[in-house]
Structure 1
Amino acid sequence: MGEDSLVPFSEWPVEPADIDYLFLTHAHIDHIGRVPDLIDAGFSGEILCTHPTKALLIPMLHDAMGFSNRSKEEVKRLEAAIDELSWGFEYQQSFRLNKGVRFKFGHAGHILGSCFIHFTIPGDPAPYRILFSGDLGCKGSPILCDPDPPDACDLLIMESTYGDRNHEARGDRTQRLEKVLKRALADGGKVFIPAFSLGRTQELIYEIDRILSSQKQGEAAGQGSDLKNIPVFVDSPLGLNVTHIYGSLSEFWDKESKRLLKEGDHPIDFATLFAVKSYRDHQKSLTVSGPAVIIAGSGMCTGGRIIDHLEAGLEDAKNDLFFVGYQAKGTLGRDIITYGSRKNGYVRINGEKVQVNARLHELGGYSAHADQSELVRWVEEMPEKPGKITLVHGEKEARTALQKVLEDRGYRL
């Protein structure tokens, strides 16, 4: 599901009841959010995904359906149906469907469980091969295995989200985060980090854990430690649930995370990490004095518990607000960046004028999507050029830019 996911089912070329298989590339809600609607429309086929996506599927949809008009009984019915219809599969193993069609999942490196899908369809004189990229991630992302090299195919359907740009360097982002955290917390204020519950929250916990582990080593060598006693609050029920699920799926982590776990250093847990579970605990967290770090959803400040923290803390000049992801036009996050940097700048939260006195920081290198150079490099890793490439899941400008780059390299689009 991607850019055309809002097309009414009545306009689909196939009736939902006639669909045998639904493939999910990962568990972000913009890719799975219409699964309950599809079931209500008559779909009763099999839902195929990786094992981690299967584990994340119902928690993510349960949270999303909580914002719908469905009753608790309807939500339970749909969750039971989804659990019954969905199946998890291994990476890099070929599986057979009806009529001899085969599929294989490859690591996509976007979030835990994300995959691209290679289909082989019987044909004469040769089978026809289709590769669907899903959302591709970046190499070197915490916890995640790097994207696998793609197999050869006749048709490549590829995402183009960042087809017109390249990201900031990722290699030193942990060091940059540490530097900004030290400076931000030196005055005893709070650091607010809006973060999406699935993916970004776990990456931040991982990197703060790496910072603290590095400081422990420095302390053992007689050097000072600036952050070891600073509390880090995860104020997001969904983020906490997803982090717990991530922790239970260590067999799907990358080699570095597995090594840390084996050595007794859990990469997404540390002594000063605190879970803010109930709404009562959330209310208490609003009055916690600094220094402290608060990670809360939503990532673009469009809702969730981060709103209360910003309403209570944006006017305090000792506080800092870290943006670690894109802030779309029309979101509170974008408004804070736009107006907060101005003299006497302010935004409106819950209809009230809130002065932006907190210091603002935009930390690059945290995108979960491959950029233009990484997308091109991934295609070039194929053992042979695909017969044709179709670009999807990107704005027109991004698709056009990526198309030109690929055509200049001799690819057919």
Structure 2
Amino acid sequence: MRIEFHGAAGGEVTGSCHLLETAGKRILLDCGMVQGGRDSDARNLEPFTFDVATIDALVLSHAHIDHIGRVPLLVKRGFKGPIFAQAATCDLLPIMLLDAASLSEQNAEHANRDRNSGEPEVQPIYTAADVAAAQKQLHPVPYDVATEILPGVRVRLHDAGHILGSSIIEISASDPAPKTLVFSGDIGMKGTPILRDPEAPPAADLILMESTYGDRNHKDRAATVAELGQIFAKAHADGGNVVIPAFAVGRSQELLYWFTENFALWNMAQWKIFLDSPMAAKVMAVYDRHEELFDPDAVKVWAGRIKPFQLPNLHVSATVDDSKAINAVHGGAIIIAGSGMANGGRVRHHLANNLADPKSHVIFVGYQADGTLGRLLVNGVKHVKLFGADIPVRAQIHTIGGLSAHADQQSLLEWYGSGPNHPPVVLVHGENPAREVLAAALKQRFGTNVTLSQPGMVREV
């Protein structure tokens, strides 16, 4: 087996993409979009750093854009092979990619309005038609079943507990000797609502392992949920709105779960709750179709009188006019909108309308990558530029790390340690120093041979 690293390497957490050569075949693991930074659009449009036409198959770990966002572009540029993913991921993929296509088309349209005479026309990364073409190549794969995806190459998916359908990918082949590679994808936290806990890694010759939170541990989940309730109480007393940037897959559904669990305790009936994300609404329908993937606690909640996706005071913004109407609400609203890093989508409009108000609160409930608006706000920036306006940041900014869908350092170590052997590790999907700290911890606790991935690096197994 031979692995080349093409994305989410060299200290980055987005753009996941790794190329495996085994049994005479070339298999791509993930094909994600780069997010954050002024040059992200340009980077996503760059030629792939491998020959697209030689790729035999693509295997996807889960449906977040930083893992699937360039799939339509891959197909557009000549990839004709099968795309394998867990069934729920296959259902989520077109929802996510159509949203990305729409945003790209809007950005290109805005850029072309402002371009100078003689400048080349800006093109979207891909269109809805490109998404439809890629969707035709999808092949759903169940958890825990060895599937021959190519002659001599078998894949088994294990539940990663990160989002619905997220998978730890196990690839085995005789090359000519039997070899097994495990790609962690993104590992979730134990006890995450709705989802089952991550499965232990199987025996492997090498593990490609995420390291997003390799240098820190999250706050206790119960304490985190209690803190969330306290923020809502303070925000209601202040009389302002609460804006929550949240990913349409995972975090939005988890928040609604906690609202349901604590509906009386937090006096949620006193709020107007807006889910300003048509994509999140479509995702909720996918969740309802895949209750077989829920953990036992979630099954009980879904059977209860108040259901997470049918809260009596929940308003789902289906249209742009619905979204704009929220601007008239100047207090008593909880607004959940994408994107989770505030780098695009409808949440930027809500931030533009609320950041200058000291009565308002902004809650970040997930990882904020370097170069994103979310990272700037978390780091305490005093002014931001949105839609051409300079906006002072007077709203109260909160970071709730305990709701992260990513395993923290202790959980990553426990996940690795729960496997039947302790093979060498290549750390991917992590900024520095997070992966450096995790590498040291793996070496100290298990004596593991750890390598930090770099773009273009090759590893033989």
- Give TM-score scaled by structure 2 length: 0.79
Give the Å deviation of 1:16.
2.1
1:235 alignment partner, one of 276, 291, 299: 276
Give the Å deviation of 1:18.
2.6
Indicate the SS of the match to 1:186.
helix
- Give the whole-Å Cα distance in 1 for the aligned partners of 2:171 and 2:408: 25
- What is aligned with 1:35? 71
Instruction: Please list the CA deviations of residues 367-404 of structure 1 after superposition, one character each: whole Å capped at 9, or x if unmatched.
Output: 22112211111111112222x22222222422222222
Indicate the SS of the match to 1:293.
strand
- What is aligned with 1:151? 202
Equivalences for 1:318-333 in 2 at 5 Å?
Answer: 318-333=359-374
Question: Is it true that 1:407 corresponds to 2:459 in the alignment?
Answer: no
Gaps of 5+ in 1: 216-224
Is the alpha carbon distance of 1:55 and 1:276 closer, same or farther for their aligned partners in structure 2, counting shifts above 3 Å?
same
Is the alpha carbon distance of 1:159 and 1:46 closer, same or farther for their aligned partners in structure 2, counting shifts above 3 Å?
same
- Give the whole-Å Cα distance in 2 for the aligned partners of 1:276 and 1:115: 30
Give the Å deviation of 1:10.
5.7
Give the Å deviation of 1:329.
4.2
2:8 alignment partner, one of 3, 6, 31: 3
Question: Is it true that 1:395 corresponds to 2:431 in the alignment?
Answer: yes
Give the Å deviation of 1:49.
0.3
1:298 alignment partner, one of 320, 339, 360: 339
Give the Å deviation of 1:346.
3.7
- What is aligned with 2:131? 79
Indicate the SS of the match to 2:163.
coil
Question: Is it true that 1:380 corresponds to 2:432 in the alignment?
Answer: no
Identity in percent: 40
Instruction: Please list the CA deviations of residues 113-135 of structure 1 after superposition, one character each: whole Å capped at 9, or x if unmatched.
Output: 110111221356x6211111111
1:51–1:89: 8 Å Cα contact kept in structure 2? yes
Structure 1 stretch displaced more, 247-256 or 321-330: 321-330
- Give the whole-Å Cα distance in 1 for the aligned partners of 2:48 and 2:392: 47
Indicate the SS of the match to 1:171.
helix
2:103–2:345: 8 Å Cα contact kept in structure 1? no
Give the Å deviation of 1:76.
4.4
Letter in 2 for 1:146: D
- Give TM-score scaled by structure 1 length: 0.88
- Give the whole-Å Cα distance in 1 for the aligned partners of 2:441 and 2:376: 33
1:118 alignment partner, one of 159, 166, 170: 170
Instruction: Please list the CA deviations of residues 321-380 of structure 1 after superposition, one character each: whole Å capped at 9, or x if unmatched.
Output: 22223334443334434456xxxx443322323233322222221222112211111111
1:59 alignment partner, one of 95, 118, 133: 95
- Give the whole-Å Cα distance in 2 for the aligned partners of 1:331 and 1:406: 30
Question: Is it true that 1:316 corresponds to 2:357 in the alignment?
Answer: yes
Indicate the SS of the match to 1:150.
coil
Give the Å deviation of 1:41.
1.7
Is the alpha carbon distance of 1:172 and 1:348 closer, same or farther for their aligned partners in structure 2, counting shifts above 3 Å?
same
Question: Is it true that 1:136 corresponds to 2:187 in the alignment?
Answer: yes
Equivalences for 1:275-286 in 2 at 5 Å?
Answer: 275-286=316-327
- Give the whole-Å Cα distance in 2 for the aligned partners of 1:159 and 1:331: 20
- Give the whole-Å Cα distance in 2 for the aligned partners of 1:364 and 1:185: 22
- What is aligned with 2:307? 266
2:241–2:331: 8 Å Cα contact kept in structure 1? yes
Is the alpha carbon distance of 1:192 and 1:95 closer, same or farther for their aligned partners in structure 2, counting shifts above 3 Å?
same
Indicate the SS of the match to 2:197.
coil
- What is aligned with 2:384? 347
Is the alpha carbon distance of 1:320 and 1:16 closer, same or farther for their aligned partners in structure 2, counting shifts above 3 Å?
same
Is the alpha carbon distance of 1:156 and 1:303 closer, same or farther for their aligned partners in structure 2, counting shifts above 3 Å?
closer
State the Cα RMSD in Å.
Answer: 2.4
Gaps of 5+ in 2: 1-5, 10-14, 16-42, 109-122, 451-461
1:101 alignment partner, one of 153, 162, 165: 153
Is the alpha carbon distance of 1:288 and 1:55 closer, same or farther for their aligned partners in structure 2, counting shifts above 3 Å?
same
Indicate the SS of the match to 1:67.
helix
Is the alpha carbon distance of 1:84 and 1:228 closer, same or farther for their aligned partners in structure 2, counting shifts above 3 Å?
same
